[in-house]
Amino acid sequence: MLGKSTTIQQWTVGPLLCGALGISACAPARPPVTTVSRTEVTTVYQVSTSDASPYAPVELQLARDELDSARLALDAREYERASRLAEQAVLDARLAEVRAETESARLAARDLRLRSEALRDETIRVSTVYLPPSSPIELRLAREELDSARLSLEVREYERARRLAEQALEDARIAEVRAETMSTRLAARDLRLSIENLRYEAARLAALY
């Protein structure tokens, strides 16, 4: 009787053991566990966030768009429009530089301001070459005063920049009235608008500092 019991146990345990081994063999292999260091995680995060900073002021994007439009206007030989757009890009880039919350945003705004100033100076130079000979003397004076006001603004002499801009504005208005041709009148009007933008910026910064 004991022999039969032993035989039954052998026949029962054998297939069960084989089945268990078969199931474990068919189970999918688990992927190896990879350990990622803290340094690697930090590096990936820095790379993914380096291209777009959430702390960049909105004026930075405005300045980029205005600078692109100024380049297109310069290519089309619309010199006064290019000068006006470049001037606005300079003002917005300055605001972005002041309002930047990170060093990378501040450096981007500074680089954009320098490129906008270079384009603005180029458009002024080109438009001066094509200025009609019958333009009033006040138009030339207004340009020189505007350049002086810009320099004062660069060295943070805000009150002096504001006074120079006021004088340039008066001369631009006189030039607009005395213009003998439509092109000269438009040049004086565009110059007046650029001066008004700079005067506003100088007055704003003078009140802040």
The model's pLDDT over 123-133, given as tens digits with 9 standing for 90+, comes to: 877 776 665 55
Classify residue 15: in a domain, yes or no. Answer: no
N-terminal to C-terminal alpha carbon distance within the chain: 109
**pTM here?**
0.43
Write down the mean pLDDT value for the chain: 76
Among candidate residues 89, 112, 130, the one where a domain is terminated: 130
Q: Do residues 81 and 65 share a domain?
A: yes
Q: Which of 4-8, 147-151, 203-207 has the lowest mean pLDDT?
A: 4-8
User: How far is 177 from 187, CA to CA, in rounded Å?
Assistant: 12
Confidence of residue 42 (pLDDT cuts 50, 70, 90): very low
Q: Do residues 124 and 162 share a domain?
A: no
- Provide the domain limits for residue 76: 55-130
Residue 75: give its domain's CATH number: 1.20.58
Note the Cα 195 to chain centre separation in Å.
23
Q: Do residues 154 and 179 share a domain?
A: yes
pLDDT tens sequence across 178-187: 888 888 888 8
Among candidate residues 130, 154, 184, the one where a domain is terminated: 130
Classify residue 100: in a domain, yes or no. Answer: yes
Q: Do residues 100 and 137 share a domain?
A: no
Classify residue 138: in a domain, yes or no. Answer: yes
Amino acid at 14: G
Cβ-based burial of 192 (10 A; exposed 0-12, middle 13-18, buried ≥19): buried
Among candidate residues 73, 100, 130, the one where a domain is terminated: 130
Closest among 43, 89, 83 to 172, alpha carbons compared: 83
pLDDT at 131: 54
Confidence of residue 168 (pLDDT cuts 50, 70, 90): very high
